[in-house]
Chain A
Protein backbone atom coordinates (compact mmCIF):
# COMPACT_ATOMS: atom_id res chain seq x y z
CA UNK A 1 0.00 0.00 0.00
CA UNK A 2 1.18 3.49 -0.78
CA UNK A 3 2.21 5.75 2.05
CA UNK A 4 0.65 9.16 2.43
CA UNK A 5 3.24 11.74 1.46
CA UNK A 6 4.54 14.71 3.44
CA UNK A 7 5.67 17.41 1.03
CA UNK A 8 7.24 20.73 1.86
CA UNK A 9 6.91 23.77 -0.32
CA UNK A 10 9.82 26.17 -0.58
CA UNK A 11 9.11 29.58 -2.09
CA UNK A 12 12.21 30.96 -3.77
CA UNK A 13 12.77 34.54 -4.85
CA UNK A 14 16.04 35.61 -6.50
CA UNK A 15 17.62 32.37 -5.28
CA UNK A 16 16.59 32.86 -1.63
CA UNK A 17 14.03 30.97 0.41
CA UNK A 18 11.09 33.14 1.44
CA UNK A 19 7.83 32.47 3.20
CA UNK A 20 4.86 34.30 1.84
CA UNK A 21 1.72 34.72 3.89
CA UNK A 22 -1.23 34.99 1.55
CA UNK A 23 1.38 35.64 -1.12
CA UNK A 24 2.28 39.12 0.12
CA UNK A 25 4.89 40.45 2.57
CA UNK A 26 7.47 37.81 1.70
CA UNK A 27 10.21 37.31 4.26
CA UNK A 28 13.73 36.04 3.54
CA UNK A 29 14.27 32.89 5.62
CA UNK A 30 17.41 31.41 4.14
CA UNK A 31 19.13 29.28 1.56
CA UNK A 32 16.83 26.90 -0.35
CA UNK A 33 19.52 24.29 -1.01
CA UNK A 34 20.49 23.85 2.63
CA UNK A 35 16.82 23.82 3.67
CA UNK A 36 16.09 21.13 1.06
CA UNK A 37 19.01 19.06 2.26
CA UNK A 38 17.98 19.37 5.88
CA UNK A 39 14.44 18.18 5.08
CA UNK A 40 15.73 15.34 2.92
CA UNK A 41 17.96 14.12 5.73
CA UNK A 42 15.06 14.40 8.17
CA UNK A 43 12.99 12.00 6.03
CA UNK A 44 10.69 14.31 4.05
CA UNK A 45 9.00 12.48 1.13
CA UNK A 46 9.02 15.15 -1.54
CA UNK A 47 9.79 18.82 -2.17
CA UNK A 48 8.20 21.58 -4.21
CA UNK A 49 10.10 24.72 -5.20
CA UNK A 50 8.00 27.64 -6.22
CA UNK A 51 9.90 30.37 -8.04
CA UNK A 52 8.30 33.70 -7.20
CA UNK A 53 11.10 35.73 -8.76
CA UNK A 54 9.47 38.81 -10.22
CA UNK A 55 11.76 39.64 -13.10
CA UNK A 56 12.31 37.15 -15.89
CA UNK A 57 16.03 38.03 -16.29
CA UNK A 58 16.66 36.52 -12.85
CA UNK A 59 15.17 33.13 -13.77
CA UNK A 60 18.56 31.56 -14.43
CA UNK A 61 19.23 31.70 -10.68
CA UNK A 62 16.39 29.22 -10.14
CA UNK A 63 17.95 26.71 -12.53
CA UNK A 64 21.19 26.94 -10.52
CA UNK A 65 19.20 26.24 -7.35
CA UNK A 66 17.49 23.24 -9.00
CA UNK A 67 20.81 21.80 -10.14
CA UNK A 68 22.39 22.19 -6.74
CA UNK A 69 19.39 20.58 -5.02
CA UNK A 70 19.55 17.66 -7.46
CA UNK A 71 23.20 17.06 -6.47
CA UNK A 72 22.39 16.85 -2.77
CA UNK A 73 18.84 15.60 -2.41
CA UNK A 74 17.71 12.10 -3.48
CA UNK A 75 13.95 12.28 -3.22
CA UNK A 76 11.59 13.54 -5.93
CA UNK A 77 11.02 17.25 -6.24
CA UNK A 78 9.02 19.53 -8.48
CA UNK A 79 9.44 23.10 -9.60
CA UNK A 80 6.80 25.68 -10.42
CA UNK A 81 6.43 29.38 -11.02
CA UNK A 82 7.12 31.20 -14.23
CA UNK A 83 6.89 28.11 -16.46
CA UNK A 84 5.09 29.16 -19.62
CA UNK A 85 6.16 26.71 -22.29
CA UNK A 86 7.34 23.16 -22.80
CA UNK A 87 10.85 24.57 -23.26
CA UNK A 88 10.70 26.24 -19.84
CA UNK A 89 9.62 22.89 -18.39
CA UNK A 90 12.38 21.01 -20.18
CA UNK A 91 15.06 23.30 -18.71
CA UNK A 92 13.80 22.62 -15.19
CA UNK A 93 13.59 18.85 -15.72
CA UNK A 94 17.04 18.74 -17.29
CA UNK A 95 18.39 20.66 -14.31
CA UNK A 96 17.23 17.73 -12.15
CA UNK A 97 13.57 18.13 -11.13
CA UNK A 98 11.20 15.13 -11.54
CA UNK A 99 8.07 17.16 -12.03
CA UNK A 100 6.89 20.55 -13.14
CA UNK A 101 4.09 22.52 -11.50
CA UNK A 102 1.85 24.39 -13.90
CA UNK A 103 -0.43 27.07 -12.55
CA UNK A 104 -1.12 30.48 -14.11
CA UNK A 105 0.33 29.53 -17.48
CA UNK A 106 -2.05 26.57 -17.73
CA UNK A 107 -5.06 28.76 -16.98
CA UNK A 108 -4.11 31.07 -19.83
CA UNK A 109 -3.10 28.23 -22.13
CA UNK A 110 -4.49 24.81 -21.10
CA UNK A 111 -2.73 23.22 -24.08
CA UNK A 112 0.57 23.50 -22.23
CA UNK A 113 -0.62 20.69 -19.91
CA UNK A 114 -1.07 18.21 -22.76
CA UNK A 115 2.11 19.36 -24.52
CA UNK A 116 4.10 18.80 -21.33
CA UNK A 117 2.40 15.43 -20.69
CA UNK A 118 3.21 14.28 -24.23
CA UNK A 119 6.80 15.43 -23.94
CA UNK A 120 7.64 14.18 -20.43
CA UNK A 121 4.85 11.78 -19.37
CA UNK A 122 1.87 12.45 -17.11
CA UNK A 123 3.90 11.56 -14.01
CA UNK A 124 5.97 14.71 -14.58
CA UNK A 125 3.06 17.13 -14.81
CA UNK A 126 1.47 18.60 -11.69
CA UNK A 127 -1.45 20.97 -12.06
CA UNK A 128 -1.35 23.46 -9.23
CA UNK A 129 -4.64 25.24 -8.61
CA UNK A 130 -5.10 28.37 -6.49
CA UNK A 131 -8.69 28.33 -5.35
CA UNK A 132 -10.99 30.51 -3.28
CA UNK A 133 -14.62 30.30 -2.29
CA UNK A 134 -16.83 31.94 -4.88
CA UNK A 135 -19.80 34.12 -4.08
CA UNK A 136 -22.88 32.04 -3.33
CA UNK A 137 -24.43 30.45 -6.40
CA UNK A 138 -22.00 32.08 -8.81
CA UNK A 139 -20.24 28.82 -9.80
CA UNK A 140 -21.49 25.19 -9.76
CA UNK A 141 -18.88 23.90 -7.29
CA UNK A 142 -18.86 27.07 -5.22
CA UNK A 143 -15.13 27.52 -5.77
CA UNK A 144 -13.23 29.65 -8.23
CA UNK A 145 -9.76 29.46 -9.78
CA UNK A 146 -7.66 32.53 -9.13
CA UNK A 147 -4.21 33.46 -10.48
CA UNK A 148 -1.37 35.83 -9.75
CA UNK A 149 -1.16 34.73 -6.15
CA UNK A 150 -4.87 35.11 -5.61
CA UNK A 151 -5.08 38.68 -6.89
CA UNK A 152 -6.86 37.86 -10.13
CA UNK A 153 -10.20 36.09 -10.47
CA UNK A 154 -10.75 33.95 -13.55
CA UNK A 155 -14.44 33.05 -13.34
CA UNK A 156 -13.41 29.39 -13.84
CA UNK A 157 -15.06 26.71 -11.74
CA UNK A 158 -12.47 24.88 -9.64
CA UNK A 159 -13.97 21.40 -10.00
CA UNK A 160 -14.43 21.75 -13.72
CA UNK A 161 -10.83 22.91 -14.10
CA UNK A 162 -9.56 19.95 -12.05
CA UNK A 163 -11.42 17.48 -14.29
CA UNK A 164 -10.24 19.22 -17.42
CA UNK A 165 -6.66 19.28 -16.14
CA UNK A 166 -6.78 15.52 -15.61
CA UNK A 167 -8.23 14.97 -19.08
CA UNK A 168 -5.46 17.11 -20.59
CA UNK A 169 -2.77 14.97 -18.97
CA UNK A 170 -1.99 16.27 -15.50
CA UNK A 171 -0.66 13.44 -13.33
CA UNK A 172 -1.34 15.10 -9.96
CA UNK A 173 -3.29 18.06 -8.66
CA UNK A 174 -2.36 20.53 -5.93
CA UNK A 175 -5.47 21.97 -4.28
CA UNK A 176 -4.25 25.23 -2.78
CA UNK A 177 -6.83 27.14 -0.81
CA UNK A 178 -6.06 30.84 -0.97
CA UNK A 179 -8.58 31.42 1.83
CA UNK A 180 -6.73 29.04 4.16
CA UNK A 181 -3.17 29.79 3.03
CA UNK A 182 -1.06 31.32 5.77
CA UNK A 183 -3.77 31.03 8.42
CA UNK A 184 -2.27 27.88 10.02
CA UNK A 185 -5.84 26.96 10.96
CA UNK A 186 -6.20 23.85 8.84
CA UNK A 187 -6.71 22.80 5.24
CA UNK A 188 -9.93 23.51 3.37
CA UNK A 189 -11.31 20.01 3.82
CA UNK A 190 -14.57 20.37 1.94
CA UNK A 191 -12.82 21.71 -1.14
CA UNK A 192 -10.05 19.08 -0.98
CA UNK A 193 -12.57 16.26 -0.60
CA UNK A 194 -14.68 17.51 -3.49
CA UNK A 195 -11.70 17.51 -5.86
CA UNK A 196 -10.32 14.20 -4.55
CA UNK A 197 -13.68 12.48 -5.05
CA UNK A 198 -13.95 13.65 -8.62
CA UNK A 199 -10.55 12.99 -10.17
CA UNK A 200 -8.61 9.76 -10.66
CA UNK A 201 -5.16 11.22 -9.99
CA UNK A 202 -3.42 11.96 -6.68
CA UNK A 203 -4.49 15.13 -4.86
CA UNK A 204 -2.15 17.19 -2.72
CA UNK A 205 -3.77 19.35 -0.03
CA UNK A 206 -2.21 22.78 0.32
CA UNK A 207 -2.78 25.94 2.30
CA UNK A 208 -3.57 26.25 5.99
CA UNK A 209 -1.51 23.45 7.55
CA UNK A 210 -0.45 24.61 11.02
CA UNK A 211 -0.54 21.52 13.24
CA UNK A 212 -0.05 17.77 12.63
CA UNK A 213 -3.78 17.23 13.29
CA UNK A 214 -4.52 19.37 10.23
CA UNK A 215 -2.53 16.98 8.04
CA UNK A 216 -4.35 14.03 9.50
CA UNK A 217 -7.68 15.64 8.64
CA UNK A 218 -6.58 16.48 5.08
CA UNK A 219 -5.35 12.90 4.49
CA UNK A 220 -8.50 11.29 5.89
CA UNK A 221 -11.57 13.51 5.80
CA UNK A 222 -10.10 15.57 2.93
CA UNK A 223 -9.29 12.45 0.91
CA UNK A 224 -5.84 13.78 -0.06
CA UNK A 225 -2.90 11.53 -1.01
CA UNK A 226 -0.34 14.02 0.23
CA UNK A 227 -0.21 17.20 2.28
CA UNK A 228 1.92 20.23 1.66
CA UNK A 229 3.45 22.16 4.55
CA UNK A 230 5.53 25.31 4.70
CA UNK A 231 5.67 27.50 7.85
CA UNK A 232 5.10 24.52 10.14
CA UNK A 233 8.51 23.25 9.16
CA UNK A 234 10.32 26.40 8.07
CA UNK A 235 9.98 28.11 11.45
CA UNK A 236 10.93 24.99 13.35
CA UNK A 237 7.63 24.65 15.23
CA UNK A 238 7.45 21.04 14.08
CA UNK A 239 9.96 18.59 12.67
CA UNK A 240 9.42 16.15 9.80
CA UNK A 241 9.69 13.43 12.40
CA UNK A 242 7.11 14.86 14.81
CA UNK A 243 4.57 15.37 12.02
CA UNK A 244 5.10 11.89 10.62
CA UNK A 245 5.04 10.27 14.03
CA UNK A 246 1.68 11.92 14.75
CA UNK A 247 0.20 10.59 11.50
CA UNK A 248 1.73 7.16 12.03
CA UNK A 249 0.46 6.93 15.60
CA UNK A 250 -3.04 7.69 14.39
CA UNK A 251 -2.90 4.77 11.99
CA UNK A 252 -1.96 6.30 8.65
CA UNK A 253 0.57 4.54 6.46
CA UNK A 254 3.58 6.84 6.55
CA UNK A 255 7.22 6.35 5.58
CA UNK A 256 9.22 6.36 8.80
CA UNK A 257 12.97 6.56 8.22
CA UNK A 258 14.58 6.82 11.63
Chain B
Protein backbone atom coordinates (compact mmCIF):
# COMPACT_ATOMS: atom_id res chain seq x y z
CA UNK B 1 0.00 0.00 0.00
CA UNK B 2 1.30 3.42 -0.99
CA UNK B 3 0.37 6.50 1.02
CA UNK B 4 0.13 9.68 -1.08
CA UNK B 5 0.72 12.81 0.98
CA UNK B 6 -2.24 15.19 0.78
CA UNK B 7 -1.25 18.78 1.40
CA UNK B 8 -3.44 20.45 -1.25
CA UNK B 9 -0.54 20.10 -3.68
CA UNK B 10 -2.85 19.62 -6.61
CA UNK B 11 -1.63 16.46 -8.29
CA UNK B 12 -2.34 13.84 -5.62
CA UNK B 13 -5.39 12.61 -7.58
CA UNK B 14 -3.37 12.29 -10.80
CA UNK B 15 -0.75 10.26 -8.93
CA UNK B 16 -3.46 8.02 -7.50
CA UNK B 17 -5.02 7.47 -10.94
CA UNK B 18 -1.64 6.50 -12.37
CA UNK B 19 -1.14 4.00 -9.52
CA UNK B 20 -4.70 2.67 -10.02
CA UNK B 21 -3.89 2.15 -13.68
CA UNK B 22 -0.83 0.11 -12.67
CA UNK B 23 -2.93 -1.94 -10.25
CA UNK B 24 -1.01 -0.61 -7.23
CA UNK B 25 -3.09 0.02 -4.11
CA UNK B 26 -2.81 3.55 -2.75
CA UNK B 27 -4.53 5.97 -0.42
CA UNK B 28 -4.40 9.76 -0.19
CA UNK B 29 -3.81 10.92 3.36
CA UNK B 30 -3.14 14.04 5.41
CA UNK B 31 -2.91 12.06 8.66
CA UNK B 32 0.64 12.42 10.04
CA UNK B 33 0.44 9.27 12.22
CA UNK B 34 -0.69 7.20 9.28
CA UNK B 35 2.22 8.57 7.29
CA UNK B 36 4.83 7.65 9.91
CA UNK B 37 3.59 4.03 9.78
CA UNK B 38 3.23 3.90 5.99
CA UNK B 39 4.89 1.09 4.08
CA UNK B 40 5.71 3.38 1.15
CA UNK B 41 5.13 7.09 0.46
CA UNK B 42 4.63 9.28 -2.61
CA UNK B 43 5.20 12.95 -1.86
CA UNK B 44 3.66 14.83 -4.80
CA UNK B 45 3.59 18.56 -5.52
CA UNK B 46 2.70 21.35 -7.92
CA UNK B 47 3.13 25.10 -7.56
CA UNK B 48 5.07 26.99 -4.92
CA UNK B 49 7.50 25.55 -2.38
CA UNK B 50 6.59 28.29 0.10
CA UNK B 51 2.86 27.58 0.36
CA UNK B 52 3.58 23.85 0.19
CA UNK B 53 5.87 24.10 3.22
CA UNK B 54 3.33 26.16 5.14
CA UNK B 55 0.60 23.58 4.58
CA UNK B 56 2.94 20.70 5.44
CA UNK B 57 3.87 22.34 8.74
CA UNK B 58 0.31 23.23 9.61
CA UNK B 59 -0.69 19.59 9.25
CA UNK B 60 2.41 18.27 11.02
CA UNK B 61 3.34 16.39 7.88
CA UNK B 62 6.90 17.75 7.75
CA UNK B 63 7.90 15.89 10.92
CA UNK B 64 6.00 12.81 9.78
CA UNK B 65 7.95 12.72 6.53
CA UNK B 66 11.26 13.14 8.36
CA UNK B 67 10.38 10.29 10.74
CA UNK B 68 9.33 8.05 7.87
CA UNK B 69 12.56 8.85 6.02
CA UNK B 70 14.56 7.99 9.15
CA UNK B 71 12.72 4.68 9.53
CA UNK B 72 13.75 3.67 6.02
CA UNK B 73 10.32 3.97 4.38
CA UNK B 74 10.74 4.17 0.58
CA UNK B 75 9.75 7.71 -0.44
CA UNK B 76 9.19 9.12 -3.92
CA UNK B 77 9.11 12.92 -4.23
CA UNK B 78 7.59 14.54 -7.32
CA UNK B 79 8.20 18.13 -8.52
CA UNK B 80 7.70 20.42 -5.50
CA UNK B 81 7.76 17.24 -3.39
CA UNK B 82 11.27 16.67 -4.80
CA UNK B 83 12.44 20.23 -4.14
CA UNK B 84 11.26 20.22 -0.53
CA UNK B 85 13.46 17.22 0.33
CA UNK B 86 16.50 19.50 -0.03
CA UNK B 87 17.85 21.84 2.67
CA UNK B 88 16.48 25.09 1.26
CA UNK B 89 15.18 26.86 -1.83
CA UNK B 90 15.62 30.21 -3.53
CA UNK B 91 11.83 30.31 -3.72
CA UNK B 92 11.26 30.62 0.03
CA UNK B 93 12.85 31.78 3.29
CA UNK B 94 11.36 28.78 5.05
CA UNK B 95 13.79 25.94 5.62
CA UNK B 96 13.01 22.79 3.64
CA UNK B 97 13.13 19.24 5.06
CA UNK B 98 16.91 18.84 4.69
CA UNK B 99 16.64 15.12 3.97
CA UNK B 100 19.01 15.50 1.01
CA UNK B 101 21.68 18.20 1.32
CA UNK B 102 21.52 21.03 -1.20
CA UNK B 103 19.25 23.74 -2.44
CA UNK B 104 16.77 24.61 -5.12
CA UNK B 105 17.85 27.23 -7.66
CA UNK B 106 15.89 29.32 -10.13
CA UNK B 107 16.48 29.02 -13.88
CA UNK B 108 18.15 32.21 -15.06
CA UNK B 109 18.66 31.75 -18.79
CA UNK B 110 20.92 34.20 -20.64
CA UNK B 111 18.97 33.53 -23.77
CA UNK B 112 15.62 35.33 -24.04
CA UNK B 113 14.24 32.53 -26.17
CA UNK B 114 14.49 30.20 -23.16
CA UNK B 115 11.27 30.64 -21.30
CA UNK B 116 10.71 30.12 -17.59
CA UNK B 117 8.94 28.00 -16.42
CA UNK B 118 10.67 25.15 -18.19
CA UNK B 119 7.53 23.46 -19.48
CA UNK B 120 7.28 20.49 -21.77
CA UNK B 121 9.06 17.25 -22.67
CA UNK B 122 12.79 16.94 -22.20
CA UNK B 123 15.26 14.08 -22.29
CA UNK B 124 16.59 12.30 -19.21
CA UNK B 125 20.14 11.04 -18.88
CA UNK B 126 20.67 8.50 -16.13
CA UNK B 127 24.08 9.04 -14.53
CA UNK B 128 23.80 6.66 -11.61
CA UNK B 129 22.06 3.30 -11.85
CA UNK B 130 19.10 3.02 -9.52
CA UNK B 131 16.39 0.32 -9.29
CA UNK B 132 13.59 2.86 -9.79
CA UNK B 133 15.18 4.06 -13.07
CA UNK B 134 16.05 0.63 -14.45
CA UNK B 135 13.69 0.94 -17.46
CA UNK B 136 14.74 4.45 -18.49
CA UNK B 137 16.50 4.29 -21.85
CA UNK B 138 18.85 6.91 -23.28
CA UNK B 139 16.84 9.73 -24.83
CA UNK B 140 13.58 8.91 -23.02
CA UNK B 141 11.64 12.12 -22.47
CA UNK B 142 9.55 13.16 -19.50
CA UNK B 143 7.20 16.06 -18.75
CA UNK B 144 8.49 19.03 -16.75
CA UNK B 145 6.76 22.15 -15.40
CA UNK B 146 9.02 24.16 -13.09
CA UNK B 147 10.94 27.38 -12.55
CA UNK B 148 13.29 25.99 -9.86
CA UNK B 149 15.50 22.93 -10.02
CA UNK B 150 17.20 20.79 -7.39
CA UNK B 151 20.95 21.21 -6.88
CA UNK B 152 22.16 18.63 -4.33
CA UNK B 153 25.40 19.52 -2.56
CA UNK B 154 26.80 16.02 -3.05
CA UNK B 155 27.09 14.92 -6.65
CA UNK B 156 26.44 11.33 -5.57
CA UNK B 157 22.83 12.32 -4.83
CA UNK B 158 22.20 13.13 -8.51
CA UNK B 159 20.75 10.09 -10.28
CA UNK B 160 19.69 11.60 -13.62
CA UNK B 161 20.14 14.90 -15.39
CA UNK B 162 18.35 17.00 -17.96
CA UNK B 163 19.45 20.09 -19.85
CA UNK B 164 17.71 23.45 -20.17
CA UNK B 165 20.37 26.10 -20.66
CA UNK B 166 22.15 24.49 -17.73
CA UNK B 167 22.49 20.85 -16.82
CA UNK B 168 20.30 20.18 -13.82
CA UNK B 169 19.39 17.27 -11.59
CA UNK B 170 16.15 15.74 -12.86
CA UNK B 171 16.20 12.80 -10.43
CA UNK B 172 17.89 12.88 -7.04
CA UNK B 173 18.13 10.22 -4.38
CA UNK B 174 19.73 9.16 -1.16
CA UNK B 175 19.21 5.96 0.84
CA UNK B 176 15.49 5.16 0.81
CA UNK B 177 14.52 8.38 -0.95
CA UNK B 178 14.24 9.06 -4.65
CA UNK B 179 12.74 12.20 -6.14
CA UNK B 180 11.92 13.42 -9.64
CA UNK B 181 11.68 17.04 -10.70
CA UNK B 182 9.39 16.06 -13.59
CA UNK B 183 5.81 14.83 -13.40
CA UNK B 184 6.16 11.06 -13.23
CA UNK B 185 2.35 10.76 -13.36
CA UNK B 186 2.12 12.72 -16.64
CA UNK B 187 5.20 11.42 -18.41
CA UNK B 188 3.49 8.70 -20.42
CA UNK B 189 4.78 5.11 -20.38
CA UNK B 190 8.25 6.21 -19.16
CA UNK B 191 6.74 7.83 -16.07
CA UNK B 192 4.44 4.89 -15.41
CA UNK B 193 7.41 2.51 -15.46
CA UNK B 194 9.22 4.65 -12.89
CA UNK B 195 6.11 4.60 -10.67
CA UNK B 196 5.78 0.85 -11.14
CA UNK B 197 9.40 0.25 -10.14
CA UNK B 198 9.01 2.50 -7.12
CA UNK B 199 6.01 0.39 -6.03
CA UNK B 200 8.35 -2.65 -5.93
CA UNK B 201 11.48 -0.94 -4.60
CA UNK B 202 12.86 -2.23 -1.28
CA UNK B 203 14.37 1.18 -0.42
CA UNK B 204 17.98 0.20 -1.10
CA UNK B 205 19.83 2.37 -3.61
CA UNK B 206 21.41 -0.51 -5.56
Contact = CB atoms under 8 A, between A and B. Distances in A.
B56 interface: no
A74 B121 contact: no
A74 B145 contact: no
Contacts of B141: 3, 255
B120 A96 contact: no
Contacts, number: 79
Nearest to A2: B120
A123 B10 CA distance: 12
Interface string A1-12: 111010000000
Interface string A62-77: 0000000011101110
A75 B185 CA distance: 8
Interface stretch (B89-97, B150-158, B186-194): B186-194
Interface in A216-258: 225-226, 255-257
A226 B21 CA distance: 28
B115 A202 contact: yes
B191 A74 contact: yes
B13 interface: yes
Contacts of B47: 120-121
Contact of B188 (A1, A75, A225): A75
Nearest to A67: B17
Contacts of B57: none
A165 to B, nearest CB: 15
B187 A74 contact: yes
A201 B46 CA distance: 19
Contacts of A121: 10, 46-48
A76 B117 CA distance: 15
Contacts of A94: 13
Interface footprint category on A: 20 to 34
A72 B21 contact: yes
B53 interface: no
A98 interface: yes
A93 B13 CA distance: 10
A171 B188 contact: no
A108 interface: no
A30 interface: no
B189 A257 contact: yes
Interface string B130-144: 000000000101010
Interface in A58-105: 70-72, 74-76, 93-94, 96, 98
Given A1-B163, A1-B164, A120-B10, A70 B17 contact: yes
Contacts of A123: 46, 117, 119, 145
Contacts of A188: none
Interface of A: 1-3, 5, 40, 43, 45, 70-72, 74-76, 93-94, 96, 98, 120-123, 171-172, 200-202, 225-226, 255-257
28 contacts: A2-B118, A2-B121, A2-B122, A3-B121, A5-B121, A43-B188, A45-B121, A70-B14, A70-B17, A71-B21, A74-B21, A75-B186, A76-B143, A96-B17, A98-B14, A120-B10, A120-B47, A121-B10, A123-B46, A123-B117, A123-B145, A200-B115, A202-B115, A202-B119, A202-B120, A226-B120, A255-B141, A256-B139
Given A200-B115, A202-B119, 12 more contacts: A1-B122, A74-B185, A74-B187, A74-B189, A74-B192, A75-B187, A76-B183, A94-B13, A120-B10, A171-B117, A171-B119, A225-B120
- Which 5 pairs show the lowest CB-CB distances between chains A and B? A255-B141, A255-B121, A2-B120, A3-B121, A121-B47
